[in-house]
Amino acid sequence: MATTSLLDAHARLRPPRGPLVLAILDGVGWGPADGGDAVHLAHKPNLARLWQTFPTRTLRAHGTAVGMPSDADMGNSEVGHNALGAGRVFRQGAALVGDAIASGRLFSGDTWHWLVAPLVGPGATDTATLHLCGLYSTGNVHAHCDHVDALLRAAHAAGVRRVRVHVLADGRDVPDATFERDLERLEHTLDGYRAQNDRDWCIASGGGRMVVTMDRYEADWSIVERGWHAHVLGDAPGFPSARDAVATLRLRTGGHSDQTLGAFTITDATGAAVGPVRDGDAFVLWNFRGDRAIQLTQAFEAGADFAGFERHQVPQVRYAGMMQYDGDLSLPRRYLVEPPVIERTVGEFLGAAGLRTFAVSETQKYGHVTYFWNGNRSGVLDPAHETYEELPSDRIAFDLRPEMQARAITDAVERALRGPQRPDFVRLNYPNGDMVGHTGNLAATILAIEAIDGEIGRLIGLVEARRGILIVTADHGNADDMWLRDGKGLPLLNRAGLPTPRTSHTLAPVPFTIFDADADHAATWRLRSDLPSAGLANVAATLLALLGWSAPPQYEEALVEVSGLELRATA
């Protein structure tokens, strides 16, 4: 763990008798409260009791409040947990990449020159290829197509003759069924370069992000394996164009979502794949967010002990990511943009103060309450004071089992609270609202909210029995609005006259509630009313204050203050 100075004890607030439990309801925002709001529609007596009876407010969880370039950008679980754990706002991947492109730093750095050097000049072979791979999306959550345009411009300026683009469909961070439009944009861009000089540039492979390449937390290596076969080996169903591939795959599967389109390759007149990766090529993964980029990076950079799947062959290439996806593991070794340096997280301070922490979630969000909470660092920060537990996620579509592992997560919290090393601070993430919300299935998402509401009831009981504190909040919106809407907020209707499902995050604020089961302790603080623009970064100082510590000066302000009763008592 990085060296961190001890905090000062709070001048007036003392620690609670029991533990402080932070429950993060992933993807549960404060929505429009209509027929498209799964949170509103769900039967949720426990959440309703908290929101109506105990100190509650909303927090900003998108845009500049979490380090995104503008307030038009949705938040996501990664930047949300960064802000929750760091106590302040850091410029995040999208903004950092945009800055690096605008300033020219991205293409003046050593890594870009290292990538293109063997592909240009008199020593370059006719087959030397620059491969560009990633999520082709305007969502600005994992990647942005504008960044791809910048890479293509720079490759053209550098004189790269042969480029292959391996393009993944979104359908989660943007409206679904928009991949054809995105492909048209990309093909138009490539046509412009092909018309110049002797450029051999084209799309080579692709697929939907949830079944090809972009697995995370090693939940399902077969997803990455499909990508490896399509992008690297050129071994996937072949089509004469990406447009033909998508049209045929949709027809075969009854109109599959963009995110679940199968893997495909583009083939030439002989039926051979146009873009397998060969020795001597360069390969750039243009995603800037780390969680769904790490495993493909490992497949390229790991040695003979790689166990994710059978790679068959590993071409010797110059590989780089848009950013470094894991600093502790140095993945990848080369990258185009420096990631934010996040230190002095709340977890470091709690460990230095000798407080015990327990963090738990299932696989889909385990990295969020550990890696992202800890400032993009892997592993346990302080083994003497921290315990983490990962529960395996189901490997089926999340709307088929919307309760996911919520009960098991609460079970793990209960075991920890009853164990010999009882934690002072517990953080947990229920993924249901986000993961089921991404399917666009409104009925299943309502069931997901009802499942976590039952677990919130259990947490209330556990905290009450120990005279502790329960804080319930979220990292961003999703389940709060399951309909695509027009500029007036009205649902966009599909051909059947029904609201078009929304599968992406929302711009909604998120609820924040404090339930203090120790009446004496609860009388010492109150929720502040003078921070109308507070966001997720204000939570860390709030945790410290309720635990009896003063936050470091760099942190955003706490959401609580000493109550009038406590002020009079200590005057």
Torsional sign, CA 504, 508, 514, 515: negative
Q: Is 77 noted as a catalytic residue in this protein?
A: yes
- Hey, is 238 helix, strand or coil? strand
Instruction: Specify whether the backbone of 444 is left (phi greater than 0), alpha (psi in -120 to 50) or beta.
Output: alpha
Gap between the Cα atoms of 382 and 360, Å rounded: 16
Indicate which residue of 5, 70, 77, 504 is catalytic: 77
Are the CB atoms for 266 and 302 separated by under 8 Å? no
Query: For 120-129, which contacts have Cβ atoms below 8 Å and span 24 or more sequence positions?
Result: 120/158, 120/159, 120/160, 120/161, 121/159, 124/161, 125/280, 126/161, 126/162, 127/162, 127/278, 128/161, 128/162, 128/280, 128/281, 129/162, 129/163, 129/164, 129/275, 129/277, 129/278, 129/281, 129/282
Place of tokens 């109109």: 255
Are the CB atoms for 275 and 205 separated by under 8 Å? yes
Gap between the Cα atoms of 389 and 378, Å rounded: 14
Phi, psi of 480 (to 5 degrees): -75, -15
3-state helix, strand, coil in the chain (%, to 5): 35, 20, 45
47 CB-near residues (< 8 Å, 6+ apart): 453, 456, 472
Active site residues: 77
